[in-house]
Amino acid sequence: MAARTYAIIIGAGIATAAAAIAIAFAIFISPALTVSPTPAAPSPAWSEGEPMPTPRTEIAGAAVDGKIYIIGGFDRFGRAVSTVEVYDPENDQWNTSAPLPQPLHHAAAASYNGTLYVVGGYLEDNTPSNKLLAYDPETNEWQELAPMPTARGALTANFVNGILYALGGVNSSFGSPAAPLATNEAYDPETDSWTQKAPMPTPRQHLASVVLDRLYVIGGRIDSLSSNLDAHEAYDDQNDNWIKLSPMPSKRGGLAAAPSYADDHIYVFGGESPTGTFNNNERYNPLNDSWSSATPMPDPRHGLAAVTVDNKIYVIGGGPQPGLTVSGTNQIYPTYYPMM
């Protein structure tokens, strides 16, 4: 089935906010070139799922009880949206849930104990948010929790041992020059409170994180698309310290990552650079701190979501070209085949 892909053209008839977003992206727009992936080792093939109804980029994604929630982002008109769409992998169907209380782009999402959490991101006026929102699938309602100490967008977040860690990002308005953050703030759902933790060794934005045996933080960038990073670090939540690990083979920001519980590897997808978007799919083995190449994504994208359900990784949405483009692509990577 064909995925929906749109290029965004912002003209005089579009609202001022959308025009401002276009200007912020303009310095990054480049020809639609695909960065060649590194050679892939034998791996399982990709398949296509039902496309996301609302094509978007700079989204957040997480799974709750086997269903995948895709949250916020930019739509094809360059507007921040409050849209939340839910994909059921078992039936290959999409539904719509209660929207976010307010539009957000470049937010982070994670789930714990049957609840979906969305933290940070940028608001409609492109200022960073410090809000922490919780969604209950049983009631289809959102609740606002204790705000994050540092407002920021383009961050990543994940739960480790019942604590939500919000990492990196930028705390200035979207599109304005800013130094990336090394900030690591931890939220405890039991007490609805935040604490400061050891900062990341490498400050960065547009990064990805994965929890397998511990919390891994991968890639990202400093500022522009030409400042991509290969940084790869793991956080020890018991001792509140960081370990530097083998760098990712390719420097990428605007990427997504997901764990495979079938082979105990981490898979890192997509990203963008000044010359194009990445279709790279690179696999990390925590047992020997090594990287290898897996089957590239059929369609290169950035600003996408990667979510694991059972033994498959669902790589959804994102921009097929650098800057402000969108897609509804839903591509599925099985990880239950023997890996080399």
Q: What percent of the chain has pLDDT over 90?
A: 82
Residue among 146, 161, 174 at smallest CA distance from 112 = 161
Q: What is the pLDDT of residues 173-186, one digit of tens each?
A: 998 888 999 999 99
pLDDT at 129 over 90: yes
Q: What is the pLDDT of residues 53-108, one digit of tens each?
A: 999 999 999 999 999 999 999 999 999 999 999 999 999 999 999 999 999 999 99
Mean pLDDT of 113-119: 99
Beta bridge partners of 281: 269
- The per-residue pLDDT for 337 is 55
Domain architecture of the chain: domains with CATH: 5-334 (2.120.10.80)
Q: What is the pLDDT of residues 30-47, one digit of tens each?
A: 333 333 344 444 456 999
Q: How far is CA 46 from CA 49, 61, 298, in A?
A: 10, 20, 7
Per DSSP bridges, beta strands 156-160 and 5-7 are unpaired
Q: Which residues contact 122 (CB under 8 A, 6 or more apart)?
A: 80, 104, 105, 106, 107, 128, 129, 153, 173, 174
Provide the mean pLDDT of the chain: 89
AA letter at 19: A
- The per-residue pLDDT for 43 is 54
In eight-state DSSP terms, residue 180 is: P
